[in-house]
Amino acid sequence: MGLLTRKELMESSNAFSLAQQQLREAAATFGIEADLVEVLAACKRSVEVSIPVTMDDGSINVFTGYRVIHNNARGPSKGGIRYHPSVTCDSTKALAMWMTWKCALMGLPFGGAKGGVTCDPHALSLGELERLTRRFTTEIVNEIGPEKDIPAPDVGTNPAVMAWIFDTYSMNQGHSVLGVVTGKPLAVGGSLGREEATGHGALFCLQEALTRLDRTVAGTRVAIQGFGNVGSVLARLLVEQGATVVAISDSTGGIHNAEGINIAGALAHKAAGGRVSDFPGGERITNDELLALDCDVLAPCALEHVITGANAGAVKASLVLEGANGPTTPEGDAVLNDRGIVVLPDVLANAGGVVVSYFEWVQGLQEYFWKEEEVNARLQAIVTRAFAETWALHERDATSMRNAAYALGVGRVAEATMIRGLYP
């Protein structure tokens, strides 16, 4: 999605409070001690940096960047770097917390972190983007490292940005450090399957859910909000599996076609710099209208807080697949749950990216790289196992999939925290 309004920016500052609310709701449901919840509700470290950048016209703009470590009880922290106008300290804290539960749910030896720069990357030239990235990396160079905190791509960043981070950090160390960042290009230590990983993970999650609901991907009608890395890959994979993608969108709006959208054509249109809303073969719709379309599966794959208490009652899908981080507020969650709509939560449904980031980190440390088939098979095994554990708890305790996922993730971090104890 694109630039947010002033009101939306103000609302986004509440993201961390909402993440803490989700934690406390799960803790209350599953009896986690209040003192331990207070420890888990706080971020270990938050760094705010000033990033002066020389622009192409010779002027200097000063941007603000953040790097937050929420928890590292289970290992070094892991989390993406986001370039977007809505980036705030609180939103970064929320994303770091969600990453902690996600890594624990997947059984990865990581804690959660997140970073970002408040900017519009689409308004920057390639040179400006590189200078911003290198200066940001220099400002947080003492915060990151392969055994400390490992960044990755997120909204508004890509493998090229990761390559600049890798190079800047390595120049400071005097040698190449492959494990400092994941999501790198293949030529500099990236992993096969990394760019498609989040979409693949979401597909594996959906397949498992539909199987348990006695349904199949083939014939399923899906509306996807967000046609970036996650949404576009998911759309392509769904069509390959026989699903019908009835709607897609980007920050400018979207298109709807009940008979199905030509995803291959839409991908080519987007690659050529076109806007989704200008792609022929469908009726133009807004992002808000997409959420209320008649479909079987709604996949919000853009930014957080798009399904709220105000619009959740209009959702017609029987299943929500959260490809984005935090797309549903607690109030929206409650409405969907009351209506019997199954929500496959972000900490489960979009964890494919961090799983393959873990694979890339391991490959970088070993300097031994795997085949793409091996990467995807290992990804499917991890996602399938995590889904099975979550679904079993969901059924056993008659609770939502989000509560079940949180119970597993939070419980594992709580256990590690208790075992390690408080120092001193």
Tokens of 411: 């419980």
Report in angstroms the alpha-carbon separations of 272 from 171, 268, 269. 35, 6, 5
Q: Which of 13, 211, 175 is nearest to 94 (CA)?
A: 13
Annotated catalytic residue: which of 78, 102, 114, 184?
114
Residue type at 199 in one-letter notation: G
Within 13 Å and on the Cβ side, how many CA atoms surround 167?
Answer: 15
Which residue's structure tokens are 């919840």?
Answer: 37
Count the residues in the chain: 424
As a whole number of angstroms, the distance between CA 88 and CA 66 comes to 8
Tokens of 170: 């390595």
316 included as an active-site residue = no
As a whole number of angstroms, the distance between CA 344 and CA 223 comes to 15
As a whole number of angstroms, the distance between CA 114 and CA 8 comes to 21
Spell out the alpha helix ranges (H) of 272-351.
287-291, 330-338, 346-349
Instruction: Kindly tell me the sign of the dihedral angle through the C-alpha atoms of 386, 337, 242, 183.
Output: negative
Following CA atoms 79, 82, 86, 87 in sequence, which dihedral angle do they give, to the nearest 10 degrees? 60
Q: Are strands 45-54 and 60-71 parallel, antiparallel or unpaired?
A: antiparallel
Report in angstroms the alpha-carbon separations of 321 from 10, 46, 143, 150, 420. 26, 30, 33, 27, 35
As a whole number of angstroms, the distance between CA 162 and CA 133 comes to 9
For residue 370, give every residue at least 6 positions away whose Cβ sits within 8 Å of its Cβ, in sequence order, or none.
191, 192, 359, 363, 378
As a whole number of angstroms, the distance between CA 302 and CA 284 comes to 18
Spell out the alpha helix ranges (H) of 143-286.
159-173, 197-212, 229-240, 263-271
- Coil/strand/helix, residue 352: helix
> Which residues are catalytic, by number?
114
